[in-house]
């Protein structure tokens, strides 16, 4: 299916475990982003990528790792999950020209116990 898909949609894990959230887009958009959304904070950028093998930190990168070996995939890894990383995570993509409108995936709700 065309679009941007995230998996898993829901995940419960324990403190200290490694978790990877997957993001896949079929538009060949250059830019991809990872946001987290928490009450009282709105959307906060974790990492973004301008192209394959090019990534950069956003506002809240600590505790997260990303990679982008292929244009269509942008996985987000929590190397050692903490309770403060309980959140809803959104992946998004955009073209590299024009208004650069973000299109979001459906989100991944992560609970760290």
Partner 1 sequence: GQNIDQPTEMTATEGAIVQINCTYQTSGFNGLFWYQQHAGEAPTFLSYNVLDGLEEKGRFSSFLSRSKGYSYLLLKELQMKDSASYLCAVRGNAGNNRKLIWGLGTSLAVNP
Interface residues with partner 1 (CB under 8 A)?
31, 40-45, 48, 50, 56, 58, 90, 94, 99-107
Nearer of residues 71 and 103 to partner 1, judged by Cβ: 103
Distant-in-sequence, close-in-space partners of 77: CB < 8 Å, separation ≥ 6:
18, 19, 20, 21, 64, 65, 66, 67
For residue 80, the minimal CB distance to partner 1 (Å) is: 26
Nearer of residues 8 and 16 to partner 1, judged by Cβ: 8
CA nearest to 52, candidates 88, 8, 19, 96: 96
Nearer of residues 16 and 50 to partner 1, judged by Cβ: 50
């Amino acid at each position: 299916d065309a679009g941007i898909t995230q998996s898993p949609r829901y995940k419960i894990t324990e403190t200290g475990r490694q978790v990877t959230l997957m993001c896949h887009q079929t538009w060949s958009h250059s830019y991809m982003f990872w946001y987290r959304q928490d009450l009282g904070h709105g959307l906060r950028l974790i990492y973004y990528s301008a192209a394959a093998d090019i990534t950069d930190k956003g506002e809240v990168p600590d505790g997260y790792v990303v990679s982008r070996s292929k244009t269509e995939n942008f996985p987000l890894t929590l190397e050692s999950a903490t309770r403060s990383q309980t959140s809803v995570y959104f992946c998004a993509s955009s073209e590299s020209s024009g208004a650069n409108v973000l299109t979001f995936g459906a989100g991944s709700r992560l609970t760290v116990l």
